[in-house]
Structures are given as structure tokens and as C-alpha cells.
Structure 1
Amino acid sequence: MKILSTITLLFLLPLLIAAEKQTPEAYIRINQLGYLPSGVKAAVWGSPGNQTISDFHLVDFTNGKVVFTGPASKPFGSYGPFAQTYRLDFSAFLRPGVYYLKAGGVVSPVFRIGKDVYNGAADFCLRYLRQQRCGFNPYLKDSCHTADGYTLYGPMPDSTKIDAIGGWHDASDYLQYSTTSANTVYHLLAAYRDFPQVFSDHHDANGLSGQNSTADVLDEARWGLDWLLRMHPQPDWLFNQIADDRDHRGMRLPALDSFYGRGHERPVYFCSGQPQVQGVKYNKMNKSTGMASTAGKFASAFALGYAVLETKDPAYARKLRMKAGTSYALGLENPGVQQTASVLSPYIYAEDNWTDDMELAAAELFAITRDRSYLKEGMKYAAGETITPWLGADTANHYQWYPFINIGHYEMALNAPGNDKKLLTGYYREGIDRVWQKANKNAFYRGVPFIWCSNNLTAAFAIQCYWYENLSGKNDYAALAQANVDWLFGCNPWGTSMVYGLPEYGDAPADPHSAFTHLKNYPIDGGLVDGPVYGSIYKSLIGIRLADPDEYAPFQSDLVVYHDDYGDYSTNEPTMDGTASLIYLLALKENEGMKTK
């Protein structure tokens, strides 16, 4: 496997312990993975008191010499636990090496500048998806949920037996959702399509060690595609989820799942286009209005699967192409959203948008058919969601605007005629600028709202910034894009990475809300945790109780909290789809490094 850093363990450990110890007066937050030589390079200095600074120094760790001195930014004032904050921008310094920053009497952790700082990171995060596999699980070398499942809400009699085995568990629970799974498949396929050179082959199709002449990212995508095919078994049938929140009754390994009154068999919810249960004791039904939000995601994943696999497995690709057409047709016939169902609690994936899903499906169908009617339909759908509604907003419901950015705008713009491309690119710019108007007021350039799964939004938004740059040829939001990447790897108030095990020798989640770690101490390498939430959200959630003293207590605030604690399912639970989005982003960054001269 590719190595995440060219620095060996023996070299890294003294680097991490030799930097001067920080004092409580101030802290310097960095991207622990490091910085690309020609990219944006910035850190944030924050003080809980009234301390100020005017400049900073970049120090070569190998000899202790100052190699760059720069002015601190304007004072940004208070943010979270800090009373005063500054940005420290050293983008002008290009020389690879090992360094630390010094300002106001404190130093940062040691970090690298190099074109390979992201190398292997995308492949590393694939470990988490392999561990999330349902059916045969290569990490456990065991099978689970092999009795799935019995139908609910469908045109067939309730409890009809169907084969819905496979796919991935959604998070640290073992529910499975078609929408998040299709989005995961799409990101994996797109990552391979756009950056095939960054991925390696060290596992077979079942996820076990051993090469099979196929990049591991494609093996993982195909695992998801196989399951999506089972969830769309005939042209007028589409299923939306397996299991429900009865799953949350207890932590256990997946093979021990039996909470539904039928042994190990679990319910499979039909995509009916009608309201379904949302917490029995709350006497609620969800607000489903149609099928297009799910059908569009299926269609785009199938169509992109056809494009990527057409020459590698023509017979399988033809099946995907056919299923792309039938699922798109279901979306055309049933406009609206299919939200998820819950039984015990009111918490669901409350998706409210669907035209973005149909736009993406139309874009991918045009790409494989060259039928210009798809371009026309896609632009009609694009007008239905010009700006993803959370961009620039302070809050949103859980998964309300999913998949967090309008992927269809980018895919449509790749093939649209000049005026349409300009229009779509303008939509991206306006959405980014709405976030920028909030972000430029704080030193972290933070404009993403602290709602549940804020890290998923962060990764997705960074991708939109890079796609805008690709479409427009302009890099006017480069610092904002990089700030969102940096946030995920330690340039945040807590100074921690949000990815389990990445970097290996840094501050990263160690006690996630996961049965694998909590019960068996199994590492969940590569999993992106949910991320920080507003203090008000944290205080309102049901059943959260920290299991251990909070090591980040000095950095919590009324604004936002994050806990590396098994008991906090709101900030420290990894998710499959967020990790897939991160895989695309890390592949993009590794590719950027490869282009560095």
C-alpha cells in the first residue's frame, strides 16, 4: 500500500515531541497532513485571552532556523473558545521540508510541506468502507444480515421475502439507505474516473487482501452497485432502506443483529412515494411526496457505473445502463422526495430536494447516450435548484439538502453549450460566495453551519469550490477551499483531525461512536466522523452522555462542540457517505500534488 508520508515512524516521533510545548495563552492550529508546496498554506493562531500578535515565523525543524517571516492577518476577534484569532498565511514559501510555526511565544505541531502529503490518503479511507460491508464482511471474515429481508409499504403483500443482501452499513449502526449508498457509489466511481492514477490494487472483489487487476476503489464501487441492483429488482420496484432505528437498542457486532421480531431478518422499506412512519410514539409520518430523490440517485450511479465499466465488464455494464433508464423513468413519473422511516425516535433523513438528483441523472444519461433530450431535461431540473439551500444558511434539518451540493450542475456543465455552462458555473459561484460572506468574518474561514454531519457538508463544499475552479478557470476561492480541507485535519478549535487514524501520528479520533471500537477495540481506519455541532443542538439531543472526561473541554463553547467520546453520537460517529465524499476530495488533493513540479 502507498505510504501516507515518506517520513518513517522513527523520524516522525521525535518531530512530534520535540517542538516547544504550547502554553495555555495561545494555540496554533494546522493541517496535520501537511501542505502542498504551491498550494494555499495557512494556519490559525488563537488565544483564550486578550493576547495579540503582529507577525509569525516559519522554522525549519531540522536546524531550528527561521526560513520565513510573515505578517499576521488582521485580528478576527473571538471564535468559539478563543477571544482573539489570526490567520498565519505562508503560501509564498514553496520549499518542501519539515517545519513548525512560531508566534506569540507558542509553536505549532510539526508538519511537512511536500507534493506527497496526501499520497495514499484516499486509499486509506477505503478501509472504512470495506469494514462497513454487509453480507460478507472482509474485516471480520464473517457474514451478516444474510436473511434480508421482508418488505414493507410495497405493492406486494407486506412481509414478502426479497433478496436484499449486500451493500454497506450506513454508520456505526447497521441500517442501510439507498440514498446514501447510491451517493457513496457515485463518489467512488467519480473519484476513479477523474483520478485513476491515485488508486492502488491490494484487495480482491470480496475485500480480502490480494490483487485482482482492479483498483480497490472500483471493487468497492461495484460492491455498492451490486446491492443497488438488488434494491431495484424490476422496472417498477425501488426500495429505499433496510432496517430502522430499532437497530439502536444496543451495540453489537453486525452478525448478532436481531431486533425486528423475525430472527435475523430485517424489514426492507419500499420506495412508495407516500408518507411512512416517523416515530410511532410521536404519532408522526414523514413528509414523502414522491420517488425522484431516490430514483435519480440510482440512475446517476448506474449510468456512471456503465461509463466506467463499459470496457472492463461489458455485460455487467449493459445491465447498469438498462437500470439507469428504468430508475430515471421512475423519477420522471414520480416527482418529489422519499424520506426515510423510523419507529422509535423522530430522527430521519429528512430530504427535501429532488430536482438536483434528477439533474445529475440526466447529465450522466446524456454522457452515455449523447441524447440531447437529456440536456434539455437536465437544464429544466437545474432551474429547480440553482443554489443548494444550505449554502450561506445557519441551519438545516438532518440531511435536508442532500447530497449537500448540487453535483448535477458540474456534470451538466461538462457537456452543456456555452451559455448553459456559464449559467451553471454562475450558480456554483453564487453558492460559494454565500458561504464566503460568512466565512471571511472568522480566522478559520468557517462558513459551513454546525448541523449534524457538518464534516460531510465541509468535504462536499470543498469539492464544489474545486469544481467551480475547474469550470471557470478562476482560483478566487482557493483559500476558502483549502480552509475546509485544513479544518478536517486539525485547523479547527480542537486541533484534531476528524478522520480515524489519519494522520497516523497526530491528534485524531480515538473513541468514536462505533461498536467495532467500543466492544472490540477494532480500528475503524479512514472513517470520517460526523463533526462539530452547535452547542444548542448538542444540548437538545436524546440519550447523549459522555463516557469519559472531555479532553477537549477547554475548547468547547456555546457556539460549537466536538467530543472524541463514544457517548456522543452527534459529533463522533463515522458515516459511510461522508467518508466516500472525503475519498473523492483526498484523491483530488493527491492528484494536485502529482501535478506539482
Structure 2
Amino acid sequence: MHMEEQGSLAVNQLGYRSTDAKIAMITGEGGRFRLVDHASGAVVWQGDTIPAVDDQASGIKVSRGDFSVWSQPGTYRIESGEGHSSYPFVISDAVYEEAHQALLKAFYFFRCGMELEEKYAGPWKHAACHLTPALVYGEEPRRIDAWGGWHDAGDYGKYVVPGAKAVADLLLAYECYPQAFEGALPLPESDGVMPDVLHECRYELEWLLRMQDGESGGAYHKLTTLQFPGPDVMPEADTAELYISPISATATGCLAGVMAMAARVYTPHDAAFAASCLKAAEQAWAWLERHPEYPGFRNPAEVFTGEYGDEQDLDERYWAAAELYRTTGEARYHEAFRGFAGQNAFDKYELGWADMGGYGTISYLLSERENEPQLAARLLAGLQQRADELAAVSREDGFGISLRPEQYIWGSNMLVMNHAMLLLIADRLLGSQTYERCALEHVHYLFGANVVGMSYVTGLGSRPILHPHHRPSEGDGVEAPVPGLVSGGPNYGKQDEYAREHLADKAPAASFADVMESYATNEVTIYWNSPAVFVLSHFV
């Protein structure tokens, strides 16, 4: 049942916490709607929808049925006046625990370079992969043994910049919500002492350390084959030659930022590892200082894997300076941060791999160091303004989220979760709960309260995506996809053949296809999962 069908209803398929706002999205003019006990069929409550709006992003008229007053735990469905019914959902105080665990466990499934054994991977087990040392592209034959880390996405490339974003989101989640990570996943490393989120991040951090050039301190941009393997090739069957692409300023800035952050987070758990992270951060910073101007990364001529190109490296330098200052308290990092903060060439509130500015701002504002009150006040005012803008868009949107029609881009669900993350951090820094409800609407959207009527996370909800663009899910012979993966979601750009052919006339928020072929709408990545982990950490 798609939302586009007249009279259909979309809800958060996981359910709602007892005291949260609860809203069903109903196509068309709306009217009377009822809350029905799913087992007995008894109507327990009824009400009238809020007047319908023409929703630009989804291209339909949508009305909202607010049943927030009902808080009694149970399993329910919503029925409209015409007798259409929603998927069943629960009202409970523990709605998000399983989803939070699954979103975090996904990183284990993304691991490269080790066997995923049945004890931890269940039917999605597979042999170790990508263990041969990689050739450094464009140099005299030289190999680097940079095994490990996470596969980036539906392919098996490993990229420093998006990897750093994913780790930063997870470490921020742990710093802000340590209680959300008390339970074991479990992982092979689970020891009941260090939280599993830190074991998982360490697997990636150790790979990032291998991607740093020991002599210069610069970070190589990525490690991939020359071309993507076929769509159903399992990781261990992807045996083409591995190449390490040249050093980039954006990768080096991200390495400095995430290593400085890790040095702080791991100190209570493993002082030696924390010290190695800090040393790496300082060496990367020294590289950045020696290369104040550096050309943006471009794929070498024969390399056709993800580029993650970015002409602008000031945002990564800003983030690195903030984290190094927060971790060490050294004045030189504060000076550098102030210099970058005075530049208008990058956005100081974005949380995407192409713009890491938001991480610098957040680090500075969360820092307990003596910082400069006027600069902090200016950055906080900017954060509040951005949060207000997101909340304003959400109030106008038919599905209650902060994406404007033109923001349904490749990986739009990353923006959905990044925005929710920013709203929650704004509340935290402002000492308010102004934006929490708005952030929660973004969670409802991810799990089914959207025009497509699907949960955009594998294995979660009544109608989750089943065919993500993810090679292991396609090639492993298991019918169900690897669980806990966030799909990229609607993409008005429709950059793949399937989307161009089948979604040509769809509105932005409806431009989605749950098929492997549609990599522009249905791929998965580590850095779409990571902000979702942060956001759910707030609600568990």
C-alpha cells in the first residue's frame, strides 16, 4: 500500500513512545480517523484530521491525524473514514531500542578484512576479504598494508573523509548519550568493560591510522580497486588489485579532527591507543600547516571508484583545529580556529562529508576549555538560527521534516538525519527542548511516515526496504538483506538508469525505488547510518 493511493495512511512503523507526539499522515482531504486496537479490532479513540495541505515535496494533498493524547501501551493501527488502514505499530516506552542496536550493528556488517562469523553475523556471515597490501597509485611499486576498516557503501571502497564523518557521529553519540550504549551488541571484541560502540569505532580508527603516510603525516584519500565489482560479487570474491590514491588535504584534515576526538574519548579506556591517536592528529596538523594551499582531490586517470572530491578544505581544517584545541587546550589551535571561524567560504553548521564545518562548531561549543565568549556566542546564535530555519521548514512540510523540495538529493536520508542531529545538539547547547519534537518527526519519517509508506531501514518496520544497492545483500544467497542499513532515500536527481526510466514523473519525495539497480535512491553507506545512530541515541 503506497501513500500515493488515495486514502492511504503512513505511520512510524516501529511505533511511538507513550508521551511523544503521535501523528498519522493521511492522503487527501482527511476527516474522521480512528485508533484501533490491532488484536481485538475495537476502536479505542477517534478524532478529526488537521486541515489538509498541498505538499510540494511529495506532490500530494496530505492531512495529519494527531492522536498524541492516547498513551496507553499496546499494538494499534489507524483507520480512515473510508476504511483504509495503516500498518500496525506499538505504543510503548521502548520503541527504539532494537532499531538503535541494529543501526549500530550495521557497522560490524560493513567490516572489511576479517571473517564475519555466524556467531555474530548470523546468516549474513562471509569470509575475510581485501587482505592484500595495496599499491600506492602513481609511485614506484610500493605497497601499504592498509587492511581493515569499514566498506563505505554498497561497494567495497574505503574512503578517509566519509569514514571520519561516520566515526565522528558515533563518538559524538557516545559523548552525548553514554547511557544509550550500555548493552552489548555483541561484537567479537565485546568485553563488558569498554562499550561496543568504541570497539566498533576502533576498528575503523585503526584503518585510518594505516592510511596516514608515516613520513609526511598526510592522509591518503582512499583505498579501492580501479573499478567497482559486479553487483552480486561478495567481498571475499573481489580480488582485483587494490590501489591507494594520493594524499589529499580534505582527508588529512578529517584524519586530524577524528583522531583528536578519539584521543579524548579513548583516554579513560585505553591510554596507549588514545596517545597514538593524538600523535597521528598532531602529525596530520603539521602536514596541513606545511600545505596551506593544496589542490582538491581528483580521481587518478584509471580510477573509477567514488571520488569524494572537494575543492574546499577550510571546513576540514576548522574542524581539526577545534578538536585539537578541545583535546589539548593548546593556544595555537585556538588561534587557528579563530582564523578559520572568521572566513565565510564554508558553512559552519553542515554535517556532510563535503562540508565538515558543523563538527568544528559543535566541538568548540561543547568544549569545556576557556574559549572566546564573543566567538562562542556568535557560533551559538548561528546554530540557533539554523535550527529555527529547519523547524520552520518542518512546520510547512506535509510530512513534518526539514527538507525543501530541492534537498531530495542523493542520500537525502543523510540530510534528514543530519538535520535531526543538529536540532538535538542545538537543544543541548541552548539548554532547551524546543527542537526535540521536530527531530522526532524526522525519525517517524525514516521509519515509514513518508509518502512512499516504507521504512527506509532494512529489517525494521512492517514494510522495510528489501533490495538495497549493497553487494553482500545481493550476493550472499540470503533472501533478507543485511539488517539495520539506512537507504539513501528519495533522490530527485534520478542519476541511475532505473530511476530515469521508472521515476521520471515522480515528485522529489516520491522519487524512490526499492530495487538493487537504483543506486541513486537505494544505496546504503556508513555515513547515512551514523547520524541515525546519533539521533536514536537521544530517544532510547
Give runs of aligned pairs for residues 453-492 of structure 1, distance below 5 A: 453-492=411-450
Match of 1:333 in 2: 290
- Letter aligned with residue 256 of structure 2: A
- Aligned partner (choices 251, 268, 277) of residue 294 of structure 1: 251
SS at match of 2:13: coil
Deviation, 1:476, is 3.6
Deviation, 1:487, is 1.3
- Aligned partner (choices 145, 151, 171) of residue 130 of structure 2: 145
Match of 1:242 in 2: 223
Match of 1:445 in 2: 400
Give runs of aligned pairs for residues 306-455 of structure 1, distance below 5 A: 306-335=263-292, 338-339=296-297, 341=299, 343=302, 348-384=307-343, 388=347, 401-403=354-356, 406-415=358-367, 416-448=371-403, 449-455=407-413
- Find the aligned partners of 2:290 and 2:441 in 1 and give their Cα distance: 42
1:487-534 CA distance string (max 9 Å, x none) = 11101111111111123xx11011111222222234311111111101
1:132-190 CA distance string (max 9 Å, x none) = 1111132445321111311125xxx3431112111111111111101111222222222
- Letter aligned with residue 525 of structure 2: T
Contact 1:45/1:88 (8 A) holds in 2: yes
- Aligned partner (choices 78, 90, 95) of residue 117 of structure 1: 95
1:426-484 CA distance string (max 9 Å, x none) = 22233334444544333113442111111111111110011111112334434432222
Deviation, 1:75, is 1.9
Contact 1:80/1:493 (8 A) holds in 2: no
The count of aligned residue pairs is: 520
Deviation, 1:345, is 5.4
- Aligned partner (choices 301, 304, 322) of residue 261 of structure 2: 304
Q: Determine whether 1:188 maps to 2:160.
A: no
SS at match of 2:155: coil
Deviation, 1:563, is 1.0
- Find the aligned partners of 1:212 and 1:142 in 2 and give their Cα distance: 26
- Find the aligned partners of 2:486 and 2:61 in 1 and give their Cα distance: 29
Contact 2:78/2:85 (8 A) holds in 1: yes
Match of 1:283 in 2: none
SS at match of 2:210: helix
Contact 1:456/1:530 (8 A) holds in 2: yes
Match of 2:30 in 1: 53
Contact 2:321/2:336 (8 A) holds in 1: yes
- Find the aligned partners of 2:504 and 2:213 in 1 and give their Cα distance: 53
- Find the aligned partners of 1:56 and 1:142 in 2 and give their Cα distance: 51
Q: Which moved more, 1:111-120 or 1:371-380?
A: 371-380
Deviation, 1:308, is 1.7
- Find the aligned partners of 2:438 and 2:346 in 1 and give their Cα distance: 18
- Find the aligned partners of 2:4 and 2:251 in 1 and give their Cα distance: 51
- Aligned partner (choices 563, 570, 584) of residue 534 of structure 2: 584
Contact 1:149/1:161 (8 A) holds in 2: yes
Match of 2:7 in 1: 26
Q: Determine whether 1:133 maps to 2:111.
A: yes
SS at match of 1:74: strand
Contact 2:33/2:80 (8 A) holds in 1: yes
Distance 1:365 1:544, change over 3 A: same
TM-score (norm 1): 0.79
TM-score (norm 2): 0.86
Deviation, 1:70, is 4.4
- Letter aligned with residue 523 of structure 2: E
- Letter aligned with residue 253 of structure 2: G
Distance 1:294 1:21, change over 3 A: closer
1:316-374 CA distance string (max 9 Å, x none) = 11111111111122233334674352646596323344333223222222222122443
Match of 1:280 in 2: none
Q: Which runs of 5+ in 1 are unaligned?
A: 1-19, 260-264, 274-290, 392-398, 591-597
Distance 1:181 1:558, change over 3 A: closer
SS at match of 2:75: strand
SS at match of 2:222: strand
Contact 1:192/1:217 (8 A) holds in 2: yes
SS at match of 1:144: coil
- Find the aligned partners of 1:555 and 1:586 in 2 and give their Cα distance: 34
Distance 1:36 1:238, change over 3 A: same
SS at match of 1:491: coil
Match of 1:6 in 2: none
Deviation, 1:242, is 0.6
- Find the aligned partners of 2:322 and 2:505 in 1 and give their Cα distance: 44
Match of 1:41 in 2: 22
Q: Determine whether 1:568 maps to 2:527.
A: no
- Find the aligned partners of 2:3 and 2:54 in 1 and give their Cα distance: 21
- Find the aligned partners of 1:499 and 1:224 in 2 and give their Cα distance: 22
Distance 1:577 1:23, change over 3 A: closer
- Letter aligned with residue 26 of structure 2: W
- Find the aligned partners of 1:199 and 1:174 in 2 and give their Cα distance: 28
1:10-53 CA distance string (max 9 Å, x none) = xxxxxxxxxx9999431111111222233332221113xxxx23
Q: Which moved more, 1:471-480 or 1:312-321?
A: 471-480
Q: Determine whether 1:84 maps to 2:71.
A: no
Distance 1:40 1:267, change over 3 A: same
Match of 1:14 in 2: none
Deviation, 1:80, is 5.8
Contact 1:70/1:90 (8 A) holds in 2: yes
1:511-560 CA distance string (max 9 Å, x none) = 111222222234311111111101xx21x4357699xxx8xx89954764
- Letter aligned with residue 176 of structure 2: D
Q: Determine whether 1:257 maps to 2:257.
A: no
Match of 1:497 in 2: 455
Q: Determine whether 1:529 maps to 2:492.
A: no
1:211-245 CA distance string (max 9 Å, x none) = 46332211111101111111114251321101156
- Aligned partner (choices 507, 510, 516) of residue 466 of structure 2: 510
Distance 1:79 1:555, change over 3 A: farther
Contact 2:3/2:27 (8 A) holds in 1: no
SS at match of 2:228: helix
Distance 1:381 1:21, change over 3 A: closer
Deviation, 1:125, is 1.8
Distance 1:467 1:378, change over 3 A: same
Q: Determine whether 1:225 maps to 2:205.
A: yes
Q: Which moved more, 1:227-236 or 1:194-203?
A: 194-203
- Find the aligned partners of 2:183 and 2:392 in 1 and give their Cα distance: 43
Match of 1:5 in 2: none
- Find the aligned partners of 2:4 and 2:374 in 1 and give their Cα distance: 56
SS at match of 1:130: helix
Match of 1:99 in 2: 76
Distance 1:501 1:555, change over 3 A: farther
Contact 2:499/2:518 (8 A) holds in 1: yes
Deviation, 1:247, is 1.9
Contact 2:490/2:509 (8 A) holds in 1: no
- Find the aligned partners of 2:427 and 2:157 in 1 and give their Cα distance: 36
Deviation, 1:129, is 1.4
- Letter aligned with residue 268 of structure 1: I
Match of 1:288 in 2: none
- Find the aligned partners of 1:161 and 1:554 in 2 and give their Cα distance: 46
Q: Root-mean-square deviation (CA), in Å?
A: 3.2
Contact 2:76/2:90 (8 A) holds in 1: yes
Contact 1:375/1:412 (8 A) holds in 2: no
Distance 1:353 1:244, change over 3 A: farther
